[in-house]
Amino acid sequence: MTQTFIPGKDAALEDSIARFQQKLLDLGFHIEEASWLNPVPNVWSVHIRDKECALCFTNGKGATKKAALASALGEYFERLSTNYFFADFWLGETIANGPFVHYPNEKWFPLTENDDVPEGLLDARLRAFYDPENELTGSQLIDLQSGNEARGVCGLPFTRQSDNQTVYIPMNIIGNLYVSNGMSAGNTRNEARVQGLSEVFERYVKNRIIAESISLPEIPAEVMARYPAVMESIATLEAEGFPIFAYDGSLGGKYPVICVVLFNPVNGTCFASFGAHPDFGVALERTVTELLQGRGLKDLDVFTPPTFDDEEVAEHTNLETHFIDSSGLISWDLFKQDADYPFTDWSFSGTTEEEFATLMAIFAAEDKEVYIADYEHLGVYACRIIVPGMSDIYPAEDLWLANNNMGSHLRETLLSLPGSAWNKEDYLNLIEQLDEEGFDDFTRVRELLGLATGADNGWYTLRVGELKAMLALAGGDLEQALIWTEWTMEFNSSVFSPARANYYRCLQTLLLLSQEDARQPLQYLNAFIKMYGAEAVEAASAALSGEAAFYGLPAVDHDLQAFPAHQSLLKAYDKLQRAKAAYWSK
């Protein structure tokens, strides 16, 4: 068999692919290659997923088909090893009370009487970073996955790189502030760590360049000429009508970062892609392949025009959008003729061991502490790297303002609503509670509760605002029900099935009619049936009377059997739990 080695990797692509695929089969995961894209020469991307659990998927990119597949499989191990596929979901009471929730080496810190952050969690530097005013409480740090207050706060062990001490960081902080940043898997420990550290630099420098409207130096033609495969990809894009800028993003040779920007003159928009690696050529290739990962040439019309509004560009919500799908705003200043930094023909490359040491030295020079958790329980080395102040995707204040556990205490109550028979005022009190606790009307209830509902029922599209319409109906407050029904039609109908959209049109009509004392509802019944259909009229009438206000929401039991998507997720997690238990028992 041919052996293909590429810079930055410690094994041949063929060996990596065969090993990763076999390990997945051994663990009980059946992965399929769902789609491939090769929009320009030397740019490949692939989408792979679990045949039995569609929520477990990754994308890979590379200059060749094999490189893209190895990338996708590596990312799959990264997300399995770090439990990232399950980061947004409640894992149920069985796991919450099992021998361990996340890993056998986790540590639980019981809540204290005064609800302080328990002793033994975090180090002094982390406490000062996350909680400078000493306002954080222990109960704010309960993890979404277990929601188990009786057990306390779950801390995961990380190694502080400056002195190799173990520091326990709450799973809640990891999930809320770092999401997928700094995670990596690879053929060897150093290869994966270099990849994870490079990603931290990439996103940190990207945020700085965007937020500070930095003007970058273009990479000279003679330097670009060293990379003919990348040049061919760029030439093809430009021939298709997409001008390309290739920039040195190292900020004067400090960081191993490249930036490539694509213009779409047809609609006046642009898209900035960033990549990082100690090897200049690898960073450049990654940036160009990232530009088109999961995108064909026809998908390059969804971005935003450049702007002169530097304040809007620097807003945290814009930076979050760039993290999610790179569709955020970019300043025209990025493209100024006179750059803020000179071009640097940088290189931080060496063996992966040398590269790891080089990248760590950059963090040390910035006085940034690096914390690493190593995972080898799946037979492939993976890690999660946290660099507070550099790798955070969301600000620490989100632990107060947008914590992913904010709705956990409502889970049982909300899931019991279909088929409930409370006093009318109790439904209206719940609306008040949702207001008092500050839940955004646009929040999807399934995300608030950490549920994988599947797309075939009303829970999937249910937002807090629509829930308020249902609660008002159940509580007999038809005026409030009309307000929230019209809110729902305005803000949520675009994602409704035709049947659900029709139901809401019918419900709105019946609610408006209910305000017309002089009109007799029966006079309009025949016309309503012809307009909306007998089924919708019957369902809307039952909602209006408060008899069946929770249209399209199936009843849900404790085990969430009503949601096959959640069950498939739990089955996948069970495979991981078995692998963890076996590895840590050695």
262-310, pLDDT tens digit by residue? 999 999 999 999 999 999 999 999 999 999 999 999 999 989 999 999 9
pLDDT digits (tens, 9 = 90+) for 91-120: 999 999 999 999 999 999 999 999 999 999
Joined together, the tokens standing for residue 164 give: 């190799």
Q: What is the pLDDT of residue 5?
A: 80
Q: What is the pLDDT of residue 93?
A: 92
Joined together, the tokens standing for residue 331 give: 């300043």
pLDDT digits (tens, 9 = 90+) for 175-198: 999 999 999 999 999 999 999 999
Q: How far apart are CA 271 and CA 429, in angstroms?
A: 46
Q: What is the pLDDT of residue 557?
A: 85
Residue 561: Cβ within 10 Å count: 10
Share of residues in the chain with pLDDT > 90 (%): 97
Q: What is the pLDDT of residue 493?
A: 87
CB–CB of 355/276 below 8 Å? no
> What value does the mean pLDDT take over residues 364-369?
97
Share of residues in the chain with pLDDT > 70 (%): 100
* 110-124 burial code (b ≥16 CB/10 A, e <16): ebeeeeebbeebbbe
> What value does the mean pLDDT take over residues 145-171?
98
pLDDT digits (tens, 9 = 90+) for 211-244: 999 999 999 999 999 999 999 999 999 999 999 9
Structural domains in the chain, sorted by start: 13-87 (3.30.160.20), 417-555 (no CATH)
* 154-169 burial code (b ≥16 CB/10 A, e <16): bbbebbbbeeeeebbb
Return the SS3 of 316. helix
Q: Whole-number mean pLDDT of the chain? A: 97
Q: How many helices and strands in the chain, by DSSP H and E?
A: 22, 12
> What value does the mean pLDDT take over residues 448-458?
97
> What value does the mean pLDDT take over residues 85-94?
97
Residue 268: Cβ within 10 Å count: 11
- Provide the pLDDT confidence category of residue 350 given band limits of 50, 70 and 90: very high
Q: How far apart are CA 61 and CA 43, in angstroms?
A: 7
Q: How far apart are CA 297 and CA 40, in angstroms?
A: 8
- Give first-to-last CA distance, the chain, whole Å: 35
Q: Does pLDDT of 158 surpass 90?
A: yes
- Provide the pLDDT confidence category of residue 6 given band limits of 50, 70 and 90: confident
Q: How far apart are CA 219 and CA 225, in angstroms?
A: 10
Q: How far apart are CA 277 and CA 228, in angstroms?
A: 19
Q: Does pLDDT of 1 surpass 80?
A: no
Three-state SS for 384-437 is: EEECCCCCCCCCCCHHHHCCCCCCHHHHHHHHCCCCCCCCHHHHHHHHHHHHHC
Q: How far apart are CA 124 and CA 528, in angstroms?
A: 66
Q: How far apart are CA 156 and CA 167, in angstroms?
A: 8
Joined together, the tokens standing for residue 96 give: 């919450």
Burial class (CB in 10 A: 0-12, 13-18, 19+), 350: middle
Burial class (CB in 10 A: 0-12, 13-18, 19+), 267: exposed
Q: Does pLDDT of 424 surpass 80?
A: yes
pLDDT digits (tens, 9 = 90+) for 9-55: 889 999 999 999 999 999 999 999 999 999 999 999 999 999 999 99
Residue with tokens 């061991």: 353
Q: What is the pLDDT of residue 559?
A: 82
Burial class (CB in 10 A: 0-12, 13-18, 19+), 257: buried
Q: How far apart are CA 243 and CA 239, in angstroms?
A: 8
Residues contacting 334, CB < 8 A, separation 6+: 209, 210, 213, 214, 215, 216, 247, 261, 272, 306
